[in-house]
Chain A
Amino acid sequence: MSSVTTTHPVEQHAEYHPGGLLRWLTTTNHKDIGTMYMTFALIMFFVGGIMILAVRAELFQPGLQLMKPEFFNQLIGVHALVMIFAALMPAATGFANWMIPLMIGAPDMALPRLNNWGFWLLPPAAFLLTLPFSLALLGFGDGAIATGWTFYAPLSVQGGWGVDFAILAVHILGISSIMGSINIIVTIFNMRAPGMTMMKLPLFAWGWLITAFLLIATLPVLAGAVTMLLTDRHFGTHFFDAAGGGDPILFQHLFWFFGHPEVYILLLPVWGLMPHVLSTFSRKPVYGYKAQVYSFIAIGILSVVVWAHHFFTAGMPIPALIYFMFSTMAISLPLAVLFFCWIATMWKGAMSFETPMLFAVGFIVLFGIAGLTGLILADVAADAQYHHSYFVVAHFHYALFAGGIMGVMTGVYYWLPKWTGHMYNETLGKLHFWLTVISFNLTFIPQFFLGLAGMPRRIPDYALQFAEFNAISTIGAFILGLSQLLFAWNVWACVRGGKKAESRSWEGAEGLEWELPSPPPHHTWEIQPQIK
Chain B
Amino acid sequence: MEQVHPAPHDNARLVRRLLLLVAAAFVFAFAMVPLYDVLCEATGFNGKTAGGIIRDGFAVGGLKAGTAPTPAVDLTRTVRVEFTGTVMPGLPWDMRPLTISLDLHPGEMQQVSYLVRNTSNREVTGQAVPSVTPGQAAQHFEKIECFCFSQQTLGPGEAREMPLAFIIKPEVDRNITHITLSYAFFSTDGQRETLTSAREVR
Contacts and interface: CB of A to CB of B under 8 A. Distances in A.
Instruction: Assess A/B contact in the complex (Cβ within 8 A).
Output: yes
Interface of A: 5-6, 106-107, 110-111, 142, 155, 157-161, 178, 181-182, 185-186, 189-191, 194, 216-225, 228, 239, 241-245, 247, 249-250, 253-254, 257, 315-318, 320, 526-530
Contacts of B192: 157-158, 241, 243
Given A158-B195, A224-B26, A243-B186, 19 more contacts: A106-B6, A111-B15, A157-B192, A161-B196, A186-B14, A216-B21, A216-B22, A221-B26, A241-B192, A242-B129, A245-B58, A257-B29, A315-B133, A316-B45, A527-B1, A528-B2, A528-B3, A528-B6, A529-B1
Contacts of A222: 29
A15 to B, nearest CB: 15
Most central of A142, A242, A253 by chain B CB within 10 Å = A242
A242 B184 contact: yes
Nearest to B198: A158
Interface in B1-59: 1-7, 9-11, 14-15, 18-19, 21-23, 25-26, 28-30, 32-33, 36-37, 40, 43-47, 57-59
Contact of B44 (A178, A189, A218, A317): A317
A156 to B, nearest CB: 10
Q: Which of B19, B32, B136 lies at the interface centre, i.e. has the most chain A CB atoms within 10 A of its CB?
A: B32
A519 to B, nearest CB: 23
Given A159-B196, A191-B9, A220-B25, A242 B186 contact: yes
B135 interface: yes
Contacts, number: 137
A190 B14 contact: yes
B110 to A, nearest CB: 25
A190 B23 contact: no
DSSP class of A's interface residues: helix, strand, loop or mixed? helix
Nearest to B191: A236
Contacts of B135: 315-317
A398 B95 CA distance: 47
A245 B15 contact: no
A189 B1 contact: no
Contacts of B44: 317
B88 interface: yes
B29 A190 contact: no
B188 interface: yes
Nearest to A7: B1
A317 B29 contact: no
B29 A189 contact: no
A186 B36 contact: no
B11 A224 contact: no
A243 B3 contact: no
Contacts of A228: 29-30, 33
Contacts of B194: 157-160
Nearest to A160: B196
Contacts of B127: 243
A317 B173 CA distance: 13
Interface string B124-135: 000101000101
A327 B22 CA distance: 25
B193 A107 contact: no
